[in-house]
Structure 1
Amino acid sequence: MAASTRSQVISLYKMMLKESSRFPSYNYRTYALRRVRDAFRANREVEDPKAVERLMEEGEQMLALIQRQVAHFVPITTAASRPIPEENGDSSPSRVYEMFGFMKVFLGL
């Protein structure tokens, strides 16, 4: 792996760890950090330039996904500490879980 490619991979790794550590929820944060570390460890020995480029693109897409989820998660967790006003008076747990539907993509559910 060329030195510039190596530095790009390390930079992507650090950015993904930094963004993953911004999840306010312990469970989401530790899961995201574990997924990032495991993915980079699994591909540690890849030397083929085309494969490295493909993995970098996938990593950049995952970084964007993590950034979107963190951006949406913070306002929702702040709002979740207040009662959710319902038009029909329904404050069932299923309504609260709908707010966290965006995490299904990241968690693979």
Structure 2
Amino acid sequence: MSTRRQVITIYRLLLREAEKIPAYNFRMYAGRKIRDTFRENKSINDFAVIDQKLAEAKQNLELIRRQVIIGHLYSAEKLVIEQPKKALRRSK
């Protein structure tokens, strides 16, 4: 598998897994952190450094997966910002 494909695959996996985090603030932080980190590292051309960053990303993916499981064990009510918008009803 090419390195570019590996990077894109792990990026997508990280974002998908981060979307599963039940806590809104942690979910938003994780998504932002993943995108920012990949943007910072997009200009790396050294394959040894890329392999090291990929290994870190795989460790972080496992960490996020564990956090998702723990988050579901101790879930709480959704925040107001997460609630779907209700249709406004006019009283007659």
TM range (shorter): 0.7 to 0.9
Q: Which of the pair has the greater relative contact order for Cα pairs under 8 Å at 6+ separation?
A: 2
1:60 is matched with 58
Offset, 1:24: 1.5
- Given residue 39 of structure 1, which amino acid in structure 2 is its aligned partner? T
Offset, 1:70: 0.5
- Structure 2: unaligned runs, 5 residues or longer: 78-92
Offset, 1:29: 0.6
Structure 1 runs (4+) deviating above 4 angstroms are none
**Aligned-residue CA RMSD (Å):** 1.3
TM-score with structure 2 setting the length? 0.79
Work out the CA distance in 2 between the residues paired with 1:19 and 1:34. Answer: 13
Query: Where do residues 1-109 of structure 1 align in structure 2 (5 Å cutoff)?
Result: 4-77=2-75, 80=76
Work out the CA distance in 2 between the residues paired with 1:42 and 1:62. Answer: 16
Work out the CA distance in 2 between the residues paired with 1:64 and 1:35. Answer: 16
- Percent sequence identity over aligned pairs: 40
